Structure 1
């Protein structure tokens, strides 16, 4: 029963991590496309709050429950699919703090434009591009992790199975 309860929490945390993360990402993309500093400042503030208070704790819960589930299942952290997903998760996590910093910077740049009644500065586009591509990398990693969790295979094992099977 402990294993199933933890697995449930692990899956719910994954849904929150992926869902809120993707929602925040798409909302900030949509807001940025308006080029309206007021819209961007408002949406960026909400995105920073959601990512700080919901998405980040969901990631922490993922690590904790994942570790306990591996132990309860009698697997080692060096089991190939476990290790692969852990490495990808840590790489995605390493993008997370810079993403939060960039989101906050986008928010501040938009607020500055609102306060001075001016358009967004040229620097906004550069920061936005960094944030956008970090998001692409992060969510690509998340898609791969979900694939690994569902199949219990590394991507190269799955590709091998599809090519030879």
Structure 2
């Protein structure tokens, strides 16, 4: 495959990956702060769907296109910027895996609260705090990865 096509796929998939993450985080954060249980249930359900449709697929596409670009461009795999990018991507993935499970629990807990017309249980709030705590390093990792991809510091 042509370098420009692979690079385009890499940039496009990174846009979907990062954009879905930022959008999901934004809506989950602000809908949860609203304490509107029915709205939280709807948003949480859609965030889980978006994570599987966009984040999961692009999380696979990113390393495939990234390693192929390294090969096509002839960059040494052990370049510091590449090694940092890989390490940060692994960190972000390590944060994302439990976040997926947490989002499914938040979805289920909020759906049950909406169905029974009750408040969110304490478990929701504990999980939400963990969700936020895992999102911060993942966000920072992706911001730094973007910088490394653009600057390619040697």
Aligned residues: 154
Aligned-pair CA distance for 1:124: 1.3
Alpha-carbon RMSD across the aligned residues, in angstroms, is 1.2
Q: Which residue of 1 aligns with 2:93?
A: 93
TM-score by length of 2: 0.96
Q: Which residue of 1 aligns with 2:9?
A: 9
Aligned ranges 1:15-26 → 2 under 5 Å = 15-26=15-26
Deviations 1:128-164 (A, max 9, x none): 000011111100100000011110027xxxxxxxxxx
TM-score by length of 1: 0.90
**How many Å separate the matches in 2 of 1:96 and 1:117?**
30
Deviations 1:73-122 (A, max 9, x none): 11232111111101110111111110110001111111111122211111
**How many Å separate the matches in 1 of 2:17 and 2:10?**
10
**How many Å separate the matches in 2 of 1:76 and 1:90?**
19
Moved over 6 A (4+): none
Residue segments in structure 1 that go unaligned for 5+ positions in a row? 155-165
Residue segments in structure 2 that go unaligned for 5+ positions in a row? none
Q: Which residue of 2 aligns with 1:59?
A: 59
SS of 2:134's partner is: helix
Q: Which residue of 1 aligns with 2:105?
A: 105
